[in-house]
Amino acid sequence: MDYKIYILKVFLFLIYLFFGILNNLYAKDLISGYHFSEPSTQMIQDDEFLNPGFIWVEHGKALWEKKENVSDLSCNSCHGKVSNMKGVAIKFPKVNKSENFINLEQQINICREKEMKARKFEPESKNLLALSVLLYYQSKGLKQNIEINEDNKKWFDIGEELYFKKIGQMGLSCNQCHDDRVGNNLRAEKVSQGHINGFPSYLLRWSKIASVHRRIQFCNEQARAIPFKIFSKEYNALQLYLTWRGKGLEIETPAVRK
């Protein structure tokens, strides 16, 4: 065998071995999407003066104090200071007292309709996301620690099934990217583990805050699949599974992602 060809084969084998080890490390450890971002993106997230997500946080603070005309009630009227809400957001999605499976944004709208006698906010509207970001921000630094029990096990199973289900014209599943190809390049980005501990996040590609449902919807669209609607039980189920999958990761909201 030609000496140069032999050296080339050994070199290629070592590269293959290196990426195999790297993927195994990624598979064993929980790694936030923050660590797959470019340094410039990390810098924006780390600095509250640079992070555009804090515009939504500040808007959420104003909404928290705003009294609705009909009821003369604000969020503060029932819950007090927003700092009292530490740890609340990370309990969602959950089955509520009415046995409905909901996420935090849906709970905000339930409060508005039933308690404040106000109109619901539209999905992905600035007001709804501002309150959602504000509430998740109160839990920043806390670890995801959602429990699977008899109330939510049904939805957890549906979420897990959706995570591994191949969809769309491209026949892709979540795990094919976020388990099998972690650390590999996808165009100009590195494939992350797909954790949602930073959501709602400010997405540079859209220049605005997006919910985790909208981000999943975008992934579905990229796979040339028909997406579910935001607030669908399917996306809530997938959100539950993803939250459990990232158990132990700290809340980063408002994170900054591409």
Tens of pLDDT along the chain (258 residues)?
Answer: 566 665 655 565 555 445 554 444 444 589 999 999 999 999 999 999 999 999 999 999 999 999 999 999 999 999 999 999 999 999 999 999 999 999 999 999 999 999 999 999 999 999 999 999 999 999 999 999 999 999 999 999 999 999 999 999 999 999 999 999 999 987 778 999 999 999 999 999 999 999 999 999 999 999 999 999 999 999 999 999 999 999 999 999 999 999
**From CA 254, how far away is CA 32, in angstroms rounded?**
13
Catalytic residue among 78, 174, 177, 219: 219
Contacts of 237 (CB under 8 A, 6+ apart): 93, 101, 155, 156, 158, 159, 162
Predicted pLDDT of residue 2 = 64
Residues 224 and 175 in one domain: yes
CATH number at residue 131: 1.10.760.10
Do 133 and 63 lie in one domain? The reply is: yes
Residues 183 and 63 in one domain: no
- Among residues 99, 121, 137, the one where a domain terminates is 137
Let me know whether 252 and 163 are in one domain: yes
> What is residue 188's predicted lDDT score, i.e. its pLDDT?
72
SS3 236: helix
CA distances from residue 178 to 41, 46, 60, 145 in whole angstroms, order as listed: 20, 24, 32, 20
Q: What is the pLDDT of residue 238?
A: 98
**Domain interval for residue 231:** 30-49+143-257
* Total domains, the chain: 3
Q: Are 8 and 94 in the same domain?
A: no
Q: Is 75 noted as a catalytic residue in this protein? A: no
